[in-house]
Amino acid sequence: MAKEMIAMLLAGGQGSRLYALTQKLAKPAVPFGGKYRIIDFPLSNCVNSGIDTVGILTQYQPLVLNEYIGNGQPWDLDRLYGGVHVLPPYQQASGSDWYKGTANAIYQNISFIERYNPQYVIILSGDQICKQDYSDFLRFHKEKGAEFSVAVMEVPWEEASRFGLMVADENDKITEFQEKPKNPKSNLASMGIYIFNWDILKKYLIEDEADPNSENDFGNNIIPNLLRDGRNMYAYHFSGYWKDVGTISSLWEANMEVLDPEHSGIDLFDDEWKIYSRNSGMPGHKISPEAIVENSMITDGCRISGSVKHSILFAGVRVEPGAEVEDAVVMGGSVIKAGAVVKHCIVAENVVIGENAVVGAMPADGEKAVATIGPGVYVGSNAKIGPNAMVNNNVKDGDVQW
């Protein structure tokens, strides 16, 4: 039986701009929004859109991601025919190769896609926070009679030159593609989400692979080739919340925006479009009589005895008496010891911030720095971590790092 559309999710990115957070895990596995990981968003979008077959292309530090995905059950993707499959590079009779580029990653899995004989393939990216109905995108693709469609967002003109831009006519037909141009002709930024007719995608992947000069990349090679051949290419306008959380500051910002769904952030409280995740299985969180909690998001297993303001706490975080947490993202299992001050920063999983230590600071005007403590780090008592610091190794008692 053929599937109408299957999804291929590019999750191989190293996320090197997230530094300390991605030393041991791939970017799509980075925790987000209190109880999620980034990859929960595209996976939940797939299920909520009726896509039941997803290939996840992994390459960099896949251990955490593999275990997290498991058999796909938390996303209802444990299916007899289809479901979620993690697809690392593998050895073939003709030799083995790492994924050389985004297009090559799909090329190496042509036989996976053929098992489902789909009419359409949607290419997704594993590093975006976004709620999107892919079935509406597919409806657009079919209505336009497109061979290729790309989801685009309108961005402010002054920022347009940072993006890959689609120039489209009044019928949304794409006439030109500009990759980070100096003089943008459009403000429609590609979200890196594409729908292809499978026969077209396959043809261009094979052609691209045969070209020794190609970088095997969708943006740099496949899309220009489609344009060259005058294929039916359309731009699908998306206007909801979308954030590429590729940097520490954008990750921090996107988390903070979750606290204000009425104005800026993604709305995680929408019963019509749930975001699924693998559950921590801990009992409810506890707030003790002496604690202060203001404008924050707190999940299962947390124990709060100190002060928590405008922050996001993941499962099992402990904030001891007298500790202060403000404008902070504190990931699962971390402990903020008594009297410690943790402000305007990201604290990764299973970190211990020692007694009376200071991490980060509320920024002065115009500053954007977000202090970051990598996973498993022990920050000693009375240590001081400056607002620009990126800490990956244990910090001794009383040490100062900037």
Contacting positions for other proteins (CB under 8 A): 33-35, 73-74, 259, 268-269, 274-277, 279, 281-289, 291, 293-300, 303, 312-313
Which is nearer to other proteins, 25 or 268 (by Cβ)? 268
- Residue 67 or 211: the one with the smaller Cβ distance to other proteins is 67
* Cβ proximity to other proteins, 33 vs 184, nearer residue: 33
Q: Do 45 and 242 touch, CB atoms closer than 8 A? A: no
Per-residue b or e along 370-383, where b marks 16 or more CB atoms closer than 10 Å to that residue's CB: bbbbbbbbbbbbbb
d(CA 313, CA 348): 11
Q: Which residues pair with 326 in a beta bridge?
A: 309, 343
Tokens 């699908």 found at: 236
CB nearer to other proteins: give 244 or 300.
300
Shortest separation between residue 293's beta carbon and other proteins, angstroms: 5
CA distances for 113 relative to 2, 45, 72, 222, 333, angstroms: 11, 20, 18, 18, 38
CB of 394 to other proteins, least distance (A): 27
Nearer to other proteins, 264 or 279 (CB): 279
Is 147 or 326 the residue whose CB approaches other proteins more closely? 326
With CA atoms as reference, report the closest residue to 126 among 72, 58, 63: 58
- C-alpha 341 chain-centroid distance: 28
In this structure, what is the dihedral angle of CA atoms 161, 162, 163, 168, given to the nearest 10 degrees? Answer: -10
- Minimum distance from residue 288 beta carbon to other proteins (Å): 6
The least CB distance from residue 396 to other proteins, in Å, is: 30
- Residue 52 phi/psi, 5-degree rounding, is -115, 10
Question: By C-alpha distance, which of 109, 202, 107, 110 is closest to 147?
Answer: 202
Q: What's the alpha-carbon Rg for the chain, to the nearest Å?
A: 22
Q: Which is nearer to other proteins, 176 or 294 (CB)?
A: 294
Shortest CB 50 distance to other proteins, Å:
18
CB of 189 to other proteins, least distance (A): 28
Shortest gap between Cβ of 328 and other proteins (angstroms)?
15
